[in-house]
Amino acid sequence: MFVLDDVTYGDILTIPHMEIHAGCLTCIIGASGSGKTTLLGLLNNMKSPDTGRILFQGENLETFPPEQLRRRVMMLPQTPAVFPNTIEDNFTSALYYTEHDSIPNRSVFQDLLRETGLNHPLDTPAHQLSGGEKQRLALARILLLKPEVLLLDEPSSALDRRTEHEIIEMIIQTVRRHSGTIIMVTHSEEVAHTYGDRRIILEKGVIVGNEEEEACRGKHD
């Protein structure tokens, strides 16, 4: 799915070669400042490498139309933003900003809320939601857009341990039902070993560990 060759970014990242396969949950592990979030930014072309190339489905990201790429590769940040007004407005605004031509029936929005465990009416003001509920709304909003890849940047960093595992499990189960691929940045080795099919360990911008489960080996993109 992704291939990185001779990629550098300032003095933050140096990656001679790395591949990320479709259908696997890849965890990027490392301490603060190890380059994890920078790597995610490179994968959806929010940042451009200083040297080397990054391929997505065989196509160089430099030649990929940015708006098309960001429909296919989307990021759920640590603290997801919600649009003003209601939950329904969040869905319609997401469609507007990604230039989708039509608005689906409200039942589609309601189905996504049920799927992500957000049990609120569509007219609920979004600012009233808790941190975990905003994570669920942001995920539902992303699933509406049907990306091939979901990038997670410390998705549970602001949550307590119990809620952390609930949110991560919900994200993984929901994305897998949609046949998506997940790439997750985490500082937690426990989270990575519990949920990851593959674990890539970064230290000062260099890959120092690469563990892959049997089920993830030999995936064909």
Q: Write the pLDDT tens digit of every residue in 96-147.
A: 888 777 888 999 999 999 988 899 999 999 999 988 889 889 989 988 988 8
Structural domain harbouring 150: 2-216
**Considering the domain boundaries, does residue 153 fall inside one?**
yes
b/e code 40-49 from CB counts within 10 Å (16+ = b): bbbbbbbbeb
Q: Write the pLDDT tens digit of every residue in 15-32.
A: 999 999 998 999 999 998
Average pLDDT over residues 65-78: 85
**Considering the domain boundaries, does residue 211 fall inside one?**
yes
**Considering the domain boundaries, does residue 221 fall inside one?**
no
**Considering the domain boundaries, does residue 65 fall inside one?**
yes
**Considering the domain boundaries, does residue 44 fall inside one?**
yes
Alpha helices in the chain (DSSP H): 36-43, 66-72, 87-97, 106-115, 131-145, 161-177, 189-195
CATH number of the domain within which 169 lies? 3.40.50.300
**Considering the domain boundaries, does residue 9 fall inside one?**
yes
What is the tally of structural domains in the chain?
Answer: 1
